[in-house]
Structure 1
Amino acid sequence: MEAWLGRKEEDHIVAQTPPLSNARAKWKAPPPQWIKCNTDGAWRKEHQRSRVGWISRDSRGKLLWAGVKDFQRVGSPIEAEAEGIKWATQSKRSLGYNQVPYETDSQVLARMITGQEVIWPKLEPVMQEIQHYLSENPGYKLGFIQGKEIRQQTE
């Protein structure tokens, strides 16, 4: 207790920010003739709202399509992520793309979609739609991305 009471506190502490190269994953291109679609979702508890987005690029990294959308009455961050993947797969299907690897930063969601984890009851309706879109097109793949490491969840 005396050690704690006699401690010397720093008056000025500067937070160190990691270099950008370590803070972000480097985007990896899809194979030629494919497009890659990255999805993400954000959620605000106080409003039960979310905003989701996706971006599609070709094998050269050229932006092809992107979308952002607000959703009402979304109950959690994982629901927002799921809505983003659902909307992205619907969009690519309607645009006629057949060879699309999708990437999400939600490992739990990716594991549920690929059957590696039990689907939460609240997510079942949206998960059925996502699984339908992914299963009807063998060129649609779902991957999980974290930091610099990309793990393909389906083959």
Structure 2
Amino acid sequence: MDDKEIWAFNNAGDYSVKSGCWILRKLAENAGEEGMVQDQAVIDLKKQIWRMSTIPKIRKFLWGAASGGLGVAERLTAHGMHVEITCKLCHQGIETIEQVLFQCTKAQKLWSEFDLTSGHSFNAGILTELLNECLRLMKDEKIEHTRRRAILWMLWTIWKNRNSLIYAEVQVSHSLLVQTALEEATLWHELNRVESSGVTMPNDLGVPKQWTPPTPGLVKCNFHAIWRNNRYHSGGAWITWNHMGAVGMHTRDAFAPSPDKLSTEMECLLWVLRSLRDLRLEEVSIGTDSSSLLEAIKNPSRWPRYRGFLSQIAAVCTEFEVISFEVESSDSNQVARKIAKSVLRDGRFQSYLGMGGPSWLHDLIRTEVTIVNS
């Protein structure tokens, strides 16, 4: 293949905004520009935001707010744009993120209508403190459960209302905005069966939580690879099932040290494919819980560092009559995960091929089959 330029600061080999920001932070640290380095309070806040039980767009919005990434006048001015910095809604201060979400009269009226708790207000404080206060109130059992779990939706509603007033000149009644936020939060929590603590992540849409059988005629092969570091052996395992949930074969093996986890997963997948081919299984569905691996298989040109592995995988795939790949969750792939973990945990570097699944996992396998057939 012709040589090509690659980006050296991530595994994929192509530029990403995340890796670019990482480089900028490192340059700032080396140059002593402390203002560009996030303090620990902001980092901790962002970690909490990503664990919040809400829809992805609201988590992304809150992360942007904590990062100073919302398009308010103060932020635009800091980036060199010449705009009016006064709040466009109340004309009583500089339009900052905390002003828009908490301190503007429009925001305060919505918080008052929301009636979070008697006597509580967000009149003062820096943005990090105000957002942390919202997260604290979500755990306050003195507040009505329906309202405290809708706090994140209220922040999103206040931001949308600000944009509607500025760009569309549309004002919906405060009571209707609050009612909509409450209803959307309640509906989302009911559909996702989120625990009342309000800190668990929602179920990943489209990723099965239990093992699912293949369509009739296909053999499903779940596999998993274990990687510790680039100095130690890695482990892998695969197990096959039919459409009735009956286990066919299983095996495990150890691999030589690899530079990273994705390399181990690709080496393991090659081993799986070649094993299935040698066993004359020509119509298969491959299940893995590695989303990065599936992304690399679908878009190999974006992963130039792994083109050797990916070209071999593509070549072996052509030897099957039918082959497909599907994403699994940790729960739906737990049989293969447990077998793979035993390689490093118990030092079982000897490869073997067995029928019916390992005896020490029969109870787990029976549980999976029971769920499928129920």
Same-fold call, TM > 0.5?
yes
Change (3 A) 1:119 1:64: same
User: Alignment partner for residue 310 of structure 2, among 116, 124, 127?
Assistant: 127
User: Alignment partner for residue 294 of structure 2, among 98, 107, 110?
Assistant: 110
Return the TM-score normalized by structure 2.
Answer: 0.32
Letter in 2 for 1:100: V
Specify the SS of the correspondent of 2:221.
strand
Distance 1:147 1:72 in 2: 24
User: Alignment partner for residue 247 of structure 2, among 49, 63, 70?
Assistant: 63
Distance 1:117 1:126 in 2: 12
2:226 matched to 1:47? no
State the Cα distance separating 1:129 from its structure 2 match.
Answer: 1.3
- Structure 2 unaligned segments of length 5 or more: list them: 1-199, 201-207, 333-374
Residues 65-116 of structure 1: per-residue CA shift (max 9 Å, x gap)? 1111101121111111111211111111111111101011111110111227
Return the TM-score normalized by structure 1.
Answer: 0.72
Distance 1:131 1:66 in 2: 23
Q: 2:222 matched to which residue of 1?
A: 38
- Structure 1 unaligned segments of length 5 or more: list them: 1-17, 19-23, 150-155
Residues 6-49 of structure 1: per-residue CA shift (max 9 Å, x gap)? xxxxxxxxxxxx9xxxxx82111111121100111011216332
Letter in 1 for 2:314: Q
Moved more, 112-121 or 136-145: 112-121
2:319 matched to 1:142? no
Change (3 A) 1:28 1:109: same
2:288 matched to 1:100? no
Contact 1:111/1:117, CA 8 A, preserved across alignment: no
State the Cα distance separating 1:130 from its structure 2 match.
Answer: 1.1
Letter in 2 for 1:59: H
Contact 2:300/2:307, CA 8 A, preserved across alignment: no
Distance 1:135 1:112 in 2: 17
Distance 1:129 1:116 in 2: 11
Higher-Rg member (1/2): 2
Distance 1:93 1:46 in 2: 29
State the Cα distance separating 1:138 from its structure 2 match.
Answer: 4.1
Contact 2:220/2:242, CA 8 A, preserved across alignment: yes
Letter in 1 for 2:238: W
Q: 1:89 matched to which residue of 2?
A: 273
State the Cα distance separating 1:63 from its structure 2 match.
Answer: 1.2
Would you identify which runs of 4 or more consecutive aligned residues in structure 1 move more than 3 Å?
none
User: Alignment partner for residue 27 of structure 1, among 211, 215, 225?
Assistant: 211
Q: Percent identity?
A: 21
Moved more, 40-49 or 52-61: 40-49
State the Cα distance separating 1:146 from its structure 2 match.
Answer: 2.8
Change (3 A) 1:94 1:46: closer
Change (3 A) 1:91 1:46: closer
Higher helix share: 2
Letter in 1 for 2:214: P
Letter in 1 for 2:313: I
Distance 1:102 1:47 in 2: 28
Q: CA RMSD in A?
A: 2.8
Contact 1:54/1:84, CA 8 A, preserved across alignment: no
Change (3 A) 1:120 1:144: farther
